[in-house]
Amino acid sequence: MRNSSPAKCVRRARFEHYCERQDMKTKTGNDNLFAVLEGRFPRSLDTCCLETPEGLNYTWRDLLRASARLANLTKALGLRPGARVAVQVEKSPEALMLYLASLRAGLIFLPLNTAYQAGEIDYFIGDAKPELVVCSPERLSWVEPIARRHGVRHVHTLGANRDGTLLAAGAPHADEFRTVSRRPDDLAAILYTSGTTGRSKGAMLSHGNLASNARTLQRYWGWCRGDVLLHALPIFHVHGLFVAVHGALYNASKMIWLARFDPAAVIGQLPRATVFMGVPTMYVRLLDEPGFDRQCCAGMRLFISGSAPLRTETFEEFERRAGMRILERYGMSETIMLTSNPCAGERIAGTVGKPLPGVELRIVDDSGTACGFGENGVIQVRGPNVFRGYWRMPAKTRSEFTADGFFRTGDVGQFDANGYVRIVGRNRDLIITGGYNVYPKEIETIIDELPGVLESAVIGLSDRDFGEAVAAVVVPRTGVTLDAQALIASLRSRIAGYKVPRRIFIVPELPRNAMGKVQKNILRDSYAQ
């Protein structure tokens, strides 16, 4: 099944993109993503849309009503289309309703990782200037002062068990809402991704970006009648919020909604589901459970992995145990999904499959020339899924796009002989731990500010569970004795837990090359064990 050439792949993608645009023109006049999703809801709105193991059951009508109430609330608060809503809450069905309400009201949704600490939240709120901040009740005491300092007009709380001020404030409002009309280029969400310079960038995603990817994945992954999604991912990132949620809603499929990933709970629910999405760490942990076997997977149609490289050992062990192959795909916050192994064809370990229909993906060398099969180069992409730029960073946005409009992903890869993409590395200093991105520069800047620290280097070390684990090599100032555990303890209050180095090594100096640049490869080799 050898493909013609990488250039032909790009031409085919352009043609598919054209066809999709024609296809979209025939749909409803409103390009608001919610209107697109609603157009796909089942005829009978009283069937189950979302259920939890705790016994909560939401119908499609409940979803329409709950999101309408919250959308009406935002309107009553004076929020106009284009206003930002920053949300740092635990996963719950109501957190999903808040996202849908934000879409309906034409607001721009800003989901924030629940692990973020005050310094991180301060930056996001200061940068995005939301008009409404919703946090969990436990975080109110420190989130509210930050929000007020940045002039945020409204702060509400939403707890994991339908508690907090948001739902109480929404309750008196009407449960019908006319979804605000949006054009494909209007923004639906801003997703902050860590930055190479230590400053996070807000990737602006439009209604059109999200709708086109939902439509493409529905076809490519063969979503069908009767599919049930077992949802165990967090909902503050592309994977759990867009790929998983939109996948189910666009297919009118029921979701079994787990508040957090717990391998035993997943195994217990698998017999009632047909589709599961997870990061590689989740698959490693499922395989660690003796109860994970063919029997619990018997009714499953699709296991999808992404956000970080899936090791070949995990892919193979999974096939032995479950009797089916994981489908690995590749994407990023700026682009949503880019490539995927096939649903029906061969899924090849160590590859992320072919570019999705409509996605132009090219792999080029330093001079911009297309690489041949098997040659490594940088991955660049173009298509209806590619974001509108970084929030308030026009210069950064320009530098990340080529003259002909391709986005530079920062990933290094190659096309194999079958036209499947292999991700072989990254041309930016990035660690991916358990599916979360950590930029070493951000952590180094914070470590270097700690008392007694002269300088530091943050590296990723291979880790069976998280794929990569964050580690730091730290040099003390002359005459100072540093304690690694004390450093870790001070970092915990400053940055999200997953960014805190699991291990810190104290050394007298860092290895440098002739140009004075720290040789991280030497550090990685030295501490690999």
Chain residues binding ligand AMP by CB under 6 A are 193, 238, 306-309, 328, 330-333, 352, 409, 411, 423, 426, 432, 437
202 interacts with ligand MLC by CB under 6 A = no
Sorted by sequence, the CB contacts under 8 Å of residue 302 that are 6+ apart come out as 221, 222, 274, 275, 276, 327, 343
237 interacts with ligand MLC by CB under 6 A = yes
Q: Looking at 9, 433, 442, 458, which residue binds ligand MLC (CB under 6 A)? A: 433
Query: What is the Cβ-side half-sphere exposure of residue 334, based on CA atoms within 13 angstroms?
Result: 22
Choose from ligand AMP, ligand MLC, none: what does 281 bind? Cβ within 5-8 Å by kind.
ligand MLC
- Do the beta carbons of residue 289 and residue 266 sit within 8 Å? no
Choose from ligand MLC, ligand AMP, none: what does 105 bind? Cβ within 5-8 Å by kind.
none
Query: What is the Cβ-side half-sphere exposure of residue 323, based on CA atoms within 13 angstroms?
Result: 10
What SS3 state is found at 456?
Answer: strand
Choose from ligand AMP, ligand MLC, none: what does 426 bind? Cβ within 5-8 Å by kind.
ligand AMP
Site map for ligand MLC, 487-516, x if CB under 6 A?
Answer: ----------xx------------------
* Sign of the torsion formed by the C-alpha atoms of 145, 147, 150 and 153: negative
DSSP 310-361: PPHHHHHHHHHHHSS--EEEEEETTTEEEEE--SSS---TT--BEEPTT-EE
Amino acid, res. 370: A
Q: Looking at 66, 279, 459, 495, which residue binds ligand MLC (CB under 6 A)? A: 279
Q: Which is nearer to ligand AMP, 418 or 437 (by Cβ)?
A: 437
Q: Which is nearer to ligand MLC, 50 or 500 (by Cβ)?
A: 500
Query: Which residues between 434 and 473 bind ligand MLC (CB under 6 A)?
Result: 434-436, 466
253 interacts with ligand MLC by CB under 6 A = no
DSSP 264-304: HHHHHHGGG-SEEEE-HHHHHHHHTSTT-SHHHHTT--EEE
| Nearest by Cα to 176 from 64, 39, 28 | 64
Q: Looking at 252, 332, 430, 459, which residue binds ligand MLC (CB under 6 A)? A: 332
Choose from ligand MLC, ligand AMP, none: what does 466 bind? Cβ within 5-8 Å by kind.
ligand MLC
Q: Looking at 228, 282, 304, 386, which residue binds ligand MLC (CB under 6 A)? A: 282
194 interacts with ligand MLC by CB under 6 A = no
Helix (H) or strand (E) holding 440: helix 440-448
Q: Which is nearer to ligand AMP, 193 or 196 (by Cβ)?
A: 193
- Do the beta carbons of residue 429 and residue 440 sit within 8 Å? yes
Catalog residues that contact ligand MLC under the rule CB under 6 A. 233-234, 237-240, 260-261, 279, 281-282, 306-307, 331-333, 433-436, 466, 497-498
